[in-house]
Amino acid sequence: MNKKIPTWLGIVIIIIAASIAGICIQRAIRANISKSALPVEKNSNQKQGEAISCQSKKGTKMDLEEAKGIAAKSECGDKLAGKNVCNDVTGTWWLDLNLKKEGCSPACVINVETKEAVINWRCTGLILKK
């Protein structure tokens, strides 16, 4: 009893199996991404999208006020623009700066571990002619 499966049925089975595998892979990737994010403390005074403290991979924490103080005493000075983001992968605060440089969007980057601050100009390299 050696029956052949019709070609069209074999193709349908392969497509269904590939779809199921794709869904499983997507779910696994999403699960790994959410596990890799380090916790950020929140409180009721927190603005939407703004972290109150930032944590490095080693577990060192730095609150936003400390980061702003470090920024003020560094080359970043008193030019903070208001948008503050914690990059919990690198353990750094990114505080936008009010500095003008064509083609750039500068930020003060504060390392939670070393407590050092530097300006990252985030330049695109594109300069528009006027």
pTM above 0.75, yes or no: no
Helix (H, G, I), strand (E, B) or coil at 40: coil
Higher-pLDDT residue of 125 and 115 is 115
CB atoms within 10 A of CB 60: 14
Please give the Cα distance from 45 to 120 (Å, whole number): 28
Query: What secondary structure letter does DSSP report for 10?
Result: H
Tens of pLDDT, residues 45-94: 445 555 589 999 999 999 999 999 999 999 999 999 989 999 999 999 99
Query: Is residue 35 over pLDDT 50?
Result: no
Query: Is residue 9 over pLDDT 90?
Result: no
